Amino acid sequence: MEPHAPFIEVYVATPIDECSRRDPKGMYALAFSGELENFTGVSDPYEQPGDSDVIVDTIGATPAESAAVVIAWLEERNLVPAGVLA
């Protein structure tokens, strides 16, 4: 039987204005204008998780750098062998 991977919670910390700037489909613009209701963080509340295992601050980081934060966390806890995800 294969061992099961542990569940980890990763909080990708990105301010809403940055999410809006990065939005390729224009969903945030629709939400801000009121055309799209119940949009998390705009017209629907969003609560930052308080007990995330890993927090990734994406401001000023490339996607590869953000992924490296998660990989390093996994390696530090011996959940994956060092270098296996490189």
Q: Which residues, other chains included, contact 82 with Cβ-Cβ below 8 Å and sequence gap of 6+?
A: 75
Domain residues of the chain, as ranges? Answer: 10-76
Residue 2 confidence (pLDDT) = 65
Distances from the Cα of 43 to the Cαs of 2, 27, 31, in angstroms?
43, 12, 7
Convert the pLDDT of each residue in 62-77 to its tens digit.
999 999 999 999 999 9
Q: What percent of the chain has pLDDT over 70?
A: 93
Helix (H) and strand (E) counts in the chain: 3, 2
Convert the pLDDT of each residue in 27-41 to its tens digit.
999 999 999 999 999
The superfamily CATH assigns to domain 10-76 is P-loop containing nucleotide triphosphate hydrolases (3.40.50.300)
Helix (H) or strand (E) holding 33: helix 27-33
Residue 10 confidence (pLDDT) = 96
